[in-house]
Structure 1
């Protein structure tokens, strides 16, 4: 008889991440919100982040800081926390050192694939994608589970040789992000308002949106290394800079269409924020949008021609957008994360038994 999964649940979990404050992005928000939910479930969460080490700005992307730490430092921090399990959230320096310590000490661990690491690196440095995906396979395949946000991404990474893939969806705060009264001319701009929110960086494919010939006005919310160049190149676009909390939620709710031009995101937390605000979404039919917005949904429009998607989204239903967002909860997403952590530990136990006794997986359920 198989052991109930909850009996294997860790009481102490250490999360190691290279992405942390003061960065503002989907990775940081997802980890931070998951931490809060885990604590309500009775899990004692400790963190290893760049806050604990000296760091230097990443070349071409100074908002991201790379930690200057020795493997022994990271290992001692993890050991001091006496975790039942370790989750490695990123493939950066801290993730590498945590992976090394776990393998050396026989510590079970899981990983997550938050961003298209190979594509992001290749966009900035002349490194072949094949090399970068080889690194991703090497990094993730030794863990008990590699968590991905969508089914389409799981299929894609499976085809690239990444194993032990588990789904970990995302949630949305539908109290903060909600429909609100629209002003006649938000930011002093004519409607309809086409808005995008996120890092202003090369991988977000913003010119694909900003070059479009659309009625009304375009708004970009966020900051990043490409902002100065894009703001000079598109003087008729309104750039708000970084917004947080209530100010961000109020701004979302003023949009008529949310435009998501990225082709490299693995999910799209901003899509959920827009939908929860009652704003239909226009996007390419790629990983993330196709997983969130079902075919035939009246919550937005997906098209390989982004202009067609934007115009079609004007006719979509704000009520349908809101109802779709309400199907995503952080509680459910965190329970999914927790189940993956538990299963990863069990998978490592089975691997150890196979290595010791040569038994088949079907023999190891009891």
Structure 2
């Protein structure tokens, strides 16, 4: 089937706006597909009716068309997610809606492949959009006015959105790096030197995808792992675990490392930035952490040094996750410090706290021929440590190719 531009929204409340966008896409030479996800009425003129979408719900359309609006929205979101997963003709998607429409459309867009154009015009796009975007590449555009009729503002905003989608579809990005297997790496400002050295040594053989370990970065990397788009992982910077366990702002959630376990991908990890929990401006630090060691990374980011007790918790948490991995695993321990700030003379240098982390890892990880901890007498950013990461990564890749697994 020819690739088409999907335009999604609730036709009962936003029919004029959706059809306006379809007209602009058609004028740009594309074939639009109007998808109705209204939960209160069914637009018979839509290319894909709400009943057709609702039929994809595992409990059938009767689970969607109910009197409880909150449950209906949740059910339609699930139906749309499943419906779009069956389509093979999607060139790009334009969604539009208020809070309810955004809640229905965003989960489905998150399931689509990274790189497929996906744009969501929303009344909530100027707020915290992390719950909507997650680990995907959804582009969200604030609607400015409500999505409630065509007026001098909405005409411009929705017109720009339609033309932007047309541009993304008609001007696809040339493939690059497809001749090399992709490897996912995690990096933070305090491990940048290490990761830059590693990518420099791997660039000739691998397409290096570096993810900023800010919560969504780890989620994005693992989404690609689950999608089969990565050949291996160099998880240098596992700092998101700090924020998960200690309530920081850059948590990747309880599912961190689960994709590695599920897929059996070759994995080399380390303790990058496990010496710090991330908060916002100083005034955002929870009161029960007063008196701790802090470092102002910038006016919007305050770092808190982890304690020996917290490091022990993280070591056991990571160790339990590593024990579930089916593929070859090497986890390298930098005895000289886990970040730029955890070096001699630096504000987070605390050998006792680091020792608690390393000890907990060794007590928890069930080491085998394919799952190993490796201690090295270097800071994580030293060239010798970067070289060791690359050597072990090449080794686990070779092991994986030979069919070895834990």
TM-score tier by shorter-chain length is 0.3 to 0.5
TM-score (norm 1): 0.32
Query: With CA pairs under 8 Å and 6+ residues apart, which has the higher RCO, 1 or 2?
Result: 1
TM-score (norm 2): 0.30
